[in-house]
Structures are given as structure tokens and as C-alpha cells.
Amino acid sequence: MGDTVQRLTGTLVRETLPDGILPIADEVILIDVTPDTLRQRLREGKIYPPERIETALSNFFRTENLFALRELALRETLRARYRERIASPFERLMLTIGSREIDLPMIARASRIAARLAIEFVIAHVTSPREKVDPAIVALLRAEARKTNIEWIEDSSEDPPKRLLEIARAKPETTIALAGTDRPPRWLQPPSFARRLLDAGARELLVLMRPILTEIAPPED
């Protein structure tokens, strides 16, 4: 829920648990209090030391934030309690990423989707010979994939969209996932990579919105 919490509050929360905890839990219990109760506990010094209380109350612990987070927590608790396996519309998800650090969060996002659907997940990094590639960023992306033993495919081609389709079609029922573009389409601009994949013959794509990457320090920092 990290991306969702960041969109709701504008704060990147670092105190998180791996997504894999909920699926293996025997029981999920939500200990719930109202936003007013939580803010009162904060004023009483039960959460932060005195010098950080007012900053916290006016930032992350605003009432509207706490209402939104409470609703999110209730929804996720119910989902965990009545969890059923979702029927997958495909058997394999292949995330295509570029040589950009901005694609790093897409690995975790696509991995969560594959885990919820209980399907195979693979990452493909295909570049053209003329593309400038930063080895440090590629190493960072590769390391992130290997954290959870995700298959990593690396290749070079004069026509990356065509090559990605060849890789995807090596195993039937594979759907390609990629990050959506943030720019609106304009005349005389080159087509987006998603458009190029469709033009190359892709029948369907899973286009994911990029997470917010601007990191805002939480009140306690």
C-alpha cells in the first residue's frame, strides 16, 4: 500500500512490511481507533516526543489523512480476511523496463500483481544498439529483480518492440506490462512505447501508472 499511502498523504512511509506477510498470515486483526482518538494520543506524547507533536499534527496526522488511511486499512483487512484466489486472465506477466531509475518501482508493482494472480513473472530489458545505457542503473534494476528471484531477460535489438513480442510469445498466454507515459500526446512527437508495441502486433497490454517519486520526509524525520 506504500504507493497509495504516498498519494493520499504526500509522505513516503518507510516503516512497512513485505507484501508476502498477509498471504501467509493465519489471521489478520485490525486494532482500530478514530482519528480524533489518535490525534489525542499524539498530543499526550504517546507516539512522538513533545518537540515533534505539532509538526506531526499539521502534516501526516491531519484529520483528513487519518480518515483516508483508516478507510484503506479497513478495506485491506476485509480483503485479507475474505481472500480468495483471483482467476487470472493470463498465465505469465512480462514487465518491460527501460534503462531508467524511474522504472525501479514498477518491478515491485508488477510483482505484486503477479503474486496476487499466482502467475509467472519475468522482466525484460531490451534496448537498441544506439541507445545510451547507464550500466549503474541497469545493475540497480537487475539487483532489484534478483531480490525475489524474478527472471531477468536482457537483450539488444534494432527493433525493441518487435523483439519484446518475440520474447513474450515464446510462452503462450503472456501479457506485457509497462509504465504509462506522463506526457500528453502531441503532434510531431514520436509515439509512446505502448503505441509502438501495439503497432508491432501486441494484442493487449497492461499499462501501469507510474508511482509518485518525489520523496517527502515524514514528520518524525
- Residue 86: the pLDDT is 57
Burial of 8: CB neighbours in 10 Å, binned 0-12, 13-18, 19+: middle
**How many domains in the chain?**
2
Q: Tell me, rounded to whole angstroms, the distance of Cα 109 from its chain centroid.
A: 3
| Residue 213: band (very low, low, confident or very high) from pLDDT cuts 50, 70, 90 | very low
Q: Is the per-residue pLDDT at 4 higher than 80?
A: yes
Q: Quick one: 100 and 77 in the same domain?
A: no
pLDDT tens, position by position, 57-98: 999 999 999 999 999 898 888 877 766 655 677 889 999 998
Average pLDDT over residues 155-169: 95
**Average pLDDT of the chain to the nearest whole number:** 84
Q: Quick one: 43 and 101 in the same domain?
A: no
Average pLDDT over residues 114-124: 88
Q: Quick one: 14 and 59 in the same domain?
A: yes
Range with lowest mean pLDDT among 33-37, 45-49, 187-191: 187-191
Give domain status of residue 214, yes or no: no
* Domain that residue 194 falls in: 92-208
